[in-house]
Amino acid sequence: MTARHLAFIARSVGIVSIALGFVAGMHGLEHPDSIWLPTALGLIATGLLAQGYALYRSLRQWRETNESEQ
């Protein structure tokens, strides 16, 4: 897989994880004794890490493209 594909996959996983985390978090706030609130926090953290990885892959690809043009 190319760096572009990896960044796209990571970005997609990040968006879905953050969205599911917010939905689960709303349910968890209504039922604070359930497992949904910690699960939501985990999903949001996973989404943020995936977005960070996508940013890293995008910047790395951009830098390699600029170096090869020079």
Query: Is the confidence at residue 68, as pLDDT, over 90?
Result: no
Mean pLDDT of 29-36: 92
Mutual angle of helices 3-30 and 36-69, in 10-degree steps:
160
Mean pLDDT of 13-35: 95
Query: Is the confidence at residue 69, as pLDDT, over 80?
Result: no
The model's pLDDT over 38-52, given as tens digits with 9 standing for 90+, comes to 999 999 999 999 999
Q: How confident is the model at residue 64 (pLDDT cuts 50, 70, 90)?
A: confident
